[in-house]
Structure 1
Amino acid sequence: MTAKLKRVPEGTTATFERHYKHSVEKVWAYLTDNDLLPEWFSELRVKELRTGGSMVFDMQDGNLIEMRISECKPASVLEYSWGEDKVRFELAAEPEGCRLLLIETIGTLTDHTPKDLAGWHVCLDVIEALLDGVVFQDRKRAWEQQYETYIALVEGYRQS
């Protein structure tokens, strides 16, 4: 499911909605457990999991970027800075499992925005595959396909 873009006072939100057939606790673990994070986002780690704590992004060149956690409610909400922007994960139990919302608040849309959005889209698909015990095939190809979709989405949004 493609993200939905919406104008907000801070700029734009991109909201991804996924429904997983797994418990909130299992999905939360993929977002916060340093043993599971690399399976879907190899550069991301939790340094201190609490409001006011931080996530760490490994630039793969010896540089680590610390991203402040602005809100953390176990098995419910995780929000942290993402460069000049922020990402927020919201989890809610459903009868068949769990709903995940990933909301990225983007101050300024750039030519890089579709790349990031395609990346988040594929990451959420990878999490689903991992939860289901399925091997995700050809992540690069999946990203390339989503990238084309998000180029068109962002361009259409800018023109509206």
Structure 2
Amino acid sequence: MDLGTYIEHQGRPAVRFERTYDHPIGKVWTAVATPEGLAHWFPSAVELEPHAGGKISFAGDPHMEPSTGTIVAFEPPRRLAFTWFEDELHFELEPLGEGRCRLTLVNVLGEADTAARNAAGWSVCLNELDRHVAGAQAEGPHSATAAPWRPYYDAYLAAGLPSGAPVPGMTDDSPPAAD
């Protein structure tokens, strides 16, 4: 199980993930920075104005209301950052030579107690991204073919990531929803 880490990012709590791909940076950029690429693995449908200061909109996530954010950075093919509710998402791509690249995703959290919940969600999403970039069928993190969310959540709890934020689909007496 490939887990992210809990860090501090510019004085704020965050979760960080890193993936290495045997694909050129341009291919992975298309997967993480275009609505067409994001449709395969991101938890919401996304529309974006591809420039710093542009608007980004999110819809279709069964656990969240539609919303809009702001593009903080748009530097193809290396950096995309945007706001999403109280959080910020930072995608950094680094070429590694020989047609390889590294993706670093940092979810800067609005509240520390969302760390375990969000990290589990991003782990599921990144599994879908891995499948998509590899050319396999990726139907998104809410699909029946996606990795189950609960084992990741349990692993992050066991690792001591801050928790306690409400989990969509979970009440005080029920386990979290599978996605």
TM-score, with length taken from structure 2: 0.76
Unaligned 5+ runs, structure 2:
139-143, 163-179
Render the CA deviation track for 1:80-109: whole Å, top value 9, x for unaligned.
012112110000101241100001111322
1:2, 1:121 within 8 Å by CA — same for their partners in 2? yes
State the partner residue of 2:108. 105
Render the CA deviation track for 1:39-96: whole Å, top value 9, x for unaligned.
11252313201100122111558x5311101111011000001211211000010124
SS at match of 2:40: helix
- Could you tell me how far apart the structure 1 residues matched to 2:135 and 2:55 are? 29
User: Is residue 147 from structure 1 mapped to residue 153 from structure 2 by the alignment?
Assistant: yes
How large is the Cα RMSD of the aligned pairs? Answer: 2.3
More strand by share: 1
Render the CA deviation track for 1:102-131: whole Å, top value 9, x for unaligned.
011113222x43222111112112111111
* Gap change, CA 1:13 and 1:22, over 3 Å in 2: same
131, 134, 146: which one pairs with 1:132? 134
- Could you tell me how far apart the structure 1 residues matched to 2:77 and 2:15 are? 22
User: Is residue 66 from structure 1 mapped to residue 81 from structure 2 by the alignment?
Assistant: no
More helix by share: 1
1:24, 1:75 within 8 Å by CA — same for their partners in 2? yes
Unaligned 5+ runs, structure 1:
none
1:86, 1:105 within 8 Å by CA — same for their partners in 2? yes
- Could you tell me how far apart the structure 1 residues matched to 2:153 and 2:43 are? 19
Q: Which amino acid aligns with 2:105?
A: L
1:19, 1:99 within 8 Å by CA — same for their partners in 2? yes
> Sequence identity of aligned pairs in percent?
27
1:134 to partner: Cα distance: 2.2
Number of residue pairs the alignment of both structures matches: 154
TM-score, with length taken from structure 1: 0.84
